[in-house]
Amino acid sequence: MTVATRTGISDNAAGAISYFTFIPGIVFLLLPPYKESSYVRFHAWQSVLLCITAFVVDIILGAIALLTLFLGTAALAYTLRIILLLWLILWLVCVIQAMNGRRFRIPLLGSIAEKLAMKG
């Protein structure tokens, strides 16, 4: 009797690594054995969706900043810093939860990621 062993990184580590830009997330969605794990697929999809959302929000905030460039408001600068800090905290929570084996669901994005992960 032979016991099949899996080489590579654990599902928890793969889930956490998925959040380091969208590239590892896409790689894990395509590479066996990770694409067979619904846990890794969930975190990979949530990572991709989070990156897309961050990109869209960055474009919108950049446009707002350009529109108010000549006003030079300190409130806008502080608002942008707070938003960036919140993004960082959300990202850290996702990485830590994935590393600990939990499916932390970001509101809206998490339910979409869950549906996409179940299709795979």
Residue 74 contacts by C-beta under 8 Å, 6 or more apart in sequence? none
Q: Can you give the pTM of this predicted structure? A: 0.84
pLDDT digits (tens, 9 = 90+) for 9-61: 999 999 999 999 899 999 999 998 899 999 999 999 999 999 999 999 889 88
